[in-house]
Structure formats: structure tokens, C-alpha cells
């Protein structure tokens, strides 16, 4: 199998598996309990909190709350910004048209509660400019939520400039860093990030494990009510194995960041060059300001869903610029926001690479895709 869908999820790394096994076998006590097995579990959770805080350059471990994943972190961050805004009489939120649905659908729910939402359009290359944000900020803007890196086209936004603007204009700044954490250097203090979401399974950790960074002094709004875990901000007995696995994977990704980045950039170039050599192909998203492992390409006149089936037969895993919802293939809102037509969006493939991929895998995938595109264009299935 050649796995080129690392933006969807990643294979858990040995460090994460070890940490999870240890937590399951040796530290299975309830972290809220005072006896020894409970305290062993508590130690794993607090060690994990320190690791995540260190990697994000947070000021204090207490600024990290563990959640069930990127979705929950996003929802809690947005509800927090909205609640603080409402308390201060501010009900305007700024985000972008290319956010993940975890953000967009939560914003729809907040709109139904009386918040006004401005969604900034990206450039044709998938970027948001600081000037766009400056123009959209209003005196009653309570929250700005702009993703660090896009999950489909991989574009990396100018987070430091956006964060500085929010700080200057008195709006909270949340960034969905689910695709960035473990893949790009993040410094929440230097870039004025107030709230940041990440998810374990995007950097070789387990699924169902996430974290929310919240700058000290910002009162988190609960989305789950119950016990007093996570300093009362997130009820429910901690998923200790998942938390330990997330932290182990993040530490590993952080330690290997320069080497992994260099490797992915080489592989990305290799794949992009071979695919763009096919006539009628276009790279989506800025060529430079993008995640090291992201390749997103439109093949004119080719149905990506069918292409994916052919690739699956050849044991190549990738994903398309469309999603099956309610039985129909819907073009990606991200690609439409860039100005692609629905037909172009449905002719788009996302290939997301990992440092564990080899040059041989890339060459094989490129050759298979080239042949399949030709076959589909010739009308042969």
C-alpha cells in the first residue's frame, strides 16, 4: 500500500503506541483518585500537558486542556470567544470561507444565537491577507478564527501578522492548527495566539485525542458539563492512554521537525513535477506558503471519485476535492472559494505526504496516476 492521505489521518508512531500501552497496562487508575494507580495516571496526564505546552511555547502547562479531538477544541474555542464577547456586548466574529466544517458549522450555530459572522474570502492562491482582516475588524469584533494551515490545499496563513492585528484591535485570536501542529513550528506567545486547536491523529498520535491551548486569563466556556476534570473546563474522566499517546507523538514530531520537513519538501517537489507534466493539470493553493506534504491538483475532465477507485485498485490511498454527503458528491467549499468551478473541484485530488514515504513510492504513484488520468480521459474504465 502507498499511503498518501496523511491529512486525513496518520499511522500511529511507535512512541505513541508505547506510551498508550504503558498507560493502558500500568497506569489505568482514575487520575482523580488519590491512591497510587490513580496518581500514576495523573502523572502521565500532567507530563503530557507539560510536553504540549513546551512544543507550543505556551507560558504554562495549565494553558493546555485535553479534549476529544480537533472538532471539540474548535467548538470550545469558538464558544469561549462568543461567550466572552457577549458578556462585553460584542457580537461580531471574523473567520474565513476555507475553514474546516468544525469551525464553519459552529459559526452557523452561533449566528442562530444572534452573532454576526464575517467570512473572509481567500485569494485565488488560498491566502488571507492581514489587510483583509484589518478592514473587517470592527469595534464589536470579539473573536477572529483563522486556520493555521488548510486541510485541503495546505496553504499556511500569515499567523503572526494576523495575531498582532487581533491583539492591537482587542479581539481574541483562535487558530485551528489541526493540520499545522507537528508539521510546522508554532509559538503561541510570539504570534499572539489566544486559543489554538490541535488533534493527535494528524501527527502520528491516536484518534479521539486533542488539545486546546488557552492563554492564561481567558475563561474557557464549557461545552461538556459534569465532573471537575481539566480544572473544571472539560468534564469526563481523562482518556489517559490517548493523552499520553498524543504527547509522545507531538514530542517526536517536534524533535524530527527539521528532518521531516526537508524530506517532505523533496517528495512534494518530486510528485508535483511529475503530476504537473500531465497536460491539463493545475496546482491548487500557493506554491510556497503551503504545508510541506500537501499536493492538491486538478486534472481537467477527470472525475476524481472514479480516479480514487482506480488508485485504490492499485493500492494507493489519496483523497478527492469533494465529499460524499447524503449520497451526492459535493464539491469542496475550499476549492469553490478559490474560484474553481464545481466541475474542476470534482476533478481534484489531494495527496498528502509523510516523511516515511519513499521516492520510489512517489514515482510509482505518479506513474499510476498519469496512466489512470489518461485512461479516464480516453473514456476507458
Residues that bind ligand PLP (CB under 6 A): 69-71, 74, 100, 102, 147, 151, 176, 178-179, 199, 210
The nearest distance, CB 286 to ligand PLP, in angstroms, is 17
- What distance in Å separates the CA atoms of residue 297 and residue 314, rounded to the nearest whole number? 19
Angle at 333 between CA 330 and CA 337, to 5 degrees: 140
- What distance in Å separates the CA atoms of residue 204 and residue 199, rounded to the nearest whole number? 10
The cell numbers describing 278, all together, are 500531465
DSSP state of 140: T
**Smaller CB separation from ligand PLP, 314 or 323:** 323
The nearest distance, CB 155 to ligand PLP, in angstroms, is 12
Active-site hit among 13, 142, 166, 324: 324
- What distance in Å separates the CA atoms of residue 78 and residue 72, rounded to the nearest whole number? 10
Q: At what angle do helices 240-255 and 257-276 cross, to 10 degrees?
A: 80
The nearest distance, CB 40 to ligand PLP, in angstroms, is 27
**Smaller CB separation from ligand PLP, 42 or 293:** 293
Residue 127's SS3 state is coil
Cβ distance 213 to 56 under 8 Å?
A: yes
**Smaller CB separation from ligand PLP, 37 or 236:** 236
Q: Strand 210-214 to strand 92-96: parallel, antiparallel, or no bridges (unpaired)?
A: unpaired
Q: Pick from 123, 119, 169: which is nearest to 146 by CA?
A: 119
The nearest distance, CB 71 to ligand PLP, in angstroms, is 3
- 20 alpha-carbon distance from chain centroid: 22
The nearest distance, CB 84 to ligand PLP, in angstroms, is 22
**Taking the CB of residue 168, how many other CB atoms lie within 10 A of it?**
11
**Residue recorded with cell 474555542:** 77
Q: Pick from 352, 89, 83, 52: which is nearest to 205 by CA?
A: 52
The nearest distance, CB 180 to ligand PLP, in angstroms, is 9
* 324 noted as active-site residue: yes
**Smaller CB separation from ligand PLP, 100 or 290:** 100
Residue 17's SS3 state is helix
* Sign of the alpha-carbon torsion through 200, 205, 208, 209: negative
Point out the residue whose Cβ comes nearest to ligand PLP.
70
The nearest distance, CB 73 to ligand PLP, in angstroms, is 8
Residue 120's SS3 state is strand
Q: Pick from 141, 175, 174: which is nearest to 156 by CA?
A: 175
The set of catalytic residues is 324
Amino acid at each position: 500500500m502507498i499511503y498518501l492521505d496523511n491529512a486525513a489521518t496518520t499511522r500511529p508512531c511507535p512512541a505513541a503506541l508505547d506510551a498508550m500501552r504503558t498507560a493502558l497496562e500500568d497506569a489505568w487508575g482514575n487520575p482523580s483518585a488519590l491512591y497510587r494507580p490513580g496518581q500514576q495516571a495523573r502523572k502521565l496526564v500532567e507530563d503530557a500537558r507539560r510536553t504540549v505546552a513546551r512544543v507550543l511555547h505556551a507560558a504554562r502547562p495549565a494553558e493546555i486542556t485535553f479534549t476529544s479531538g480537533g472538532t471539540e477544541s474548535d467548538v470550545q474555542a469558538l464558544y469561549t470567544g462568543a461567550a466572552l464577547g457577549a458578556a462585553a456586548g460584542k457580537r461580531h466574529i471574523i473567520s474565513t470561507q476555507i475553514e474546516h466544517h468544525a469551525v464553519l458549522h459552529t459559526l452557523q450555530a452561533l449566528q442562530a444565537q444572534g452573532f454576526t459572522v464575517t467570512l473572509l474570502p481567500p485569494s485565488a492562491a488560498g491566502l488571507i491577507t492581514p489587510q483583509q482582516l484589518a478592514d473587517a475588524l470592527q469595534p464589536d469584533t470579539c473573536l477572529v478564527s483563522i486556520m493555521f494551515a488548510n486541510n485541503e490545499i495546505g496553504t499556511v496563513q500569515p499567523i503572526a501578522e494576523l495575531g498582532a492585528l487581533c491583539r492591537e484591535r482587542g479581539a481574541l485570536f483562535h487558530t485551528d492548527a489541526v493540520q499545522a501542529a507537528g508539521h510546522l513550528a508554532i509559538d503561541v506567545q510570539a504570534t499572539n495566539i489566544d486559543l489554538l486547536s490541535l488533534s493527535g491523529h494528524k501527527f502520528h498520535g491516536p484518534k479521539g485525542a486533542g488539545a486546546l491551548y488557552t492563554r492564561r486569563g481567558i475563561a474557557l466556556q464549557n461545552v461538556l458539563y459534569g465532573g471537575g476534570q481539566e480544572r473544571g473546563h472539560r468534564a469526563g474522566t481523562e482518556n489517559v492512554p490517548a493523552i499520553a499517546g498524543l504527547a509522545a507523538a507531538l514530542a517526536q514530531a517536534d524533535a524530527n521537525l527539521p528532518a521531516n520537513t526537508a524530506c517532505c519538501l523533496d517528495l512534494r517537489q518530486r510528485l508535483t513535477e511529475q503530476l504537473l507534466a500531465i497536460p491539463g493539470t493545475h496546482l491548487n493553493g500557493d506554491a510556497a506558503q503551503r504545508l510541506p506534504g500537501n499536493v492538491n491538483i486538478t486534472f481537467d475532465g477527470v472525475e476524481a471519485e472514479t480516479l480514487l477507485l482506480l488508485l485504490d485498485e492499485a493500492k494507493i490511498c489519496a483523497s478527492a476535492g469533494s465529499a460524499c454527503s447524503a449520497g451526492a458528491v459535493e464539491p469542496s467549499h475550499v476549492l469553490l472559494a478559490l474560484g474553481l468551478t464545481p466541475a474542476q473541484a470534482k476533478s481534484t485530488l489531494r495527496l498528502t505526504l509523510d516523511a516515511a514515504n519513499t521516492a520510489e513510492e512517489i514515482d510509482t504513484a505518479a506513474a499510476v496516476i498519469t496512466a489512470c488520468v489518461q485512461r479516464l480521459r480516453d473514456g476507458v474504465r
